[in-house]
Amino acid sequence: MLTPSARREVTEQLVQSSVPVIRACRITGLSRAAYYKRPEPLQRDGQLIDALNAIVSQHNRWGFWKCYRRLRLDGLGCNHKRVYRVYCAMGLNLPRRGKKRLARRLRQPLDWATEPNRCWALDFMHDALYCGRRFRTLNVIDEANREGLAIEVGVSIPATRMVRVLNRLIDEYGQPEAIRLDNGPEMLSQHFTEWAAAKGIAIRYIQPGKPNQNAFIERFNRTYRTEVLDAHLFANIEQVQVITDQWLNDYNLYRPHDALGGVPPRQFMSRHNCAAILYFKLST
């Protein structure tokens, strides 16, 4: 259904095409009085427009009535019908989505650690079961030997569950010096940042839109996507976790890794051997 302003525009185009005004108004359903009476420009509402812009710029989640009451409290005596007309003409009655603002990040150099637990890389992935239900995976690797430390599968993996997984990995493998990750909501949560500060673990946030700064985990995700997620139809979450655990064990112990000279991650850099070498250096 056309609005009066749209009807007026169509009528004007018909009149310019040599169609009589009476016939053009009959075609568009616009009265001749409305056609001849042009809408007044909004210049007379300049003060009201400025006042609404000032309110919305500071409180972009306020609705019409809250803005109107604030105008009345500020001494702008306008009828609510007039305020609502200007409010709609400015497009403020449309849903407004706040822009997500991420902190400015410094470029993170992708250095290759020479010992385990120097830096872990962390990332999330998404997929769906055969029935269409969505699930997520939390992938964690050690950048030193590209070893997959864990792949946690679940319908929902909030920051609290992510911290539990990291605590479990610390108990099993030891504490890392730093964790490299992107700017997802779980990584930016207060729960995670406070946990990392209490543990003394440095957080290396990559720059937004720069996944190449976390290239090790991105390459791991591609392999996991190709060999597991795209290769199977999953019936439930438990099946995804079982198949993933079997693949992760094969990835670490058996599958040759091209970037590691054609040997599996555990064979390229064993954690036990590195721990023994470190103990020998400290003892001597």
Mean pLDDT for all residues in the chain:
85
Question: Over the stretch 129-179, which tens digit does the pLDDT of each residue have?
Answer: 999 999 999 999 999 889 999 999 999 999 999 999 999 999 999 999 999
**Using an 8 Å Cβ cutoff, are 175 and 116 in contact?**
no
DSSP element (H, E) containing 278: helix 271-283
pTM here is 0.61
- Whole-angstrom distance, CA of residue 279 vs CA of residue 283: 6
Beta bridge partners of 125: 137
pLDDT of 37: 80
Q: What is the DSSP string of 52-80?
A: HHHHHHH-TT--HHHHHHHHHHTT----H
From first CA to last CA, the distance across the chain in angstroms is: 86
E strand intervals along 155-224: 178-181, 202-205
Helices marked H in 74-158:
80-89
Domain-wise residue ranges, the chain? 1-39, 40-94, 119-283
- Whole-angstrom distance, CA of residue 246 vs CA of residue 237: 15
> How is residue 257 annotated by DSSP?
B
> How is residue 177 annotated by DSSP?
S
Q: Which amino acid is at 229?
A: L
> How is residue 260 annotated by DSSP?
G
Q: Which CATH number fits domain 119-283: 3.30.420.10, 3.40.50.300, 1.20.1090.10, 3.10.50.40?
A: 3.30.420.10
Lowest mean pLDDT among 70-74, 145-149, 240-244, 269-273: 269-273
Tokens 């030891």 — which residue?
A: 174
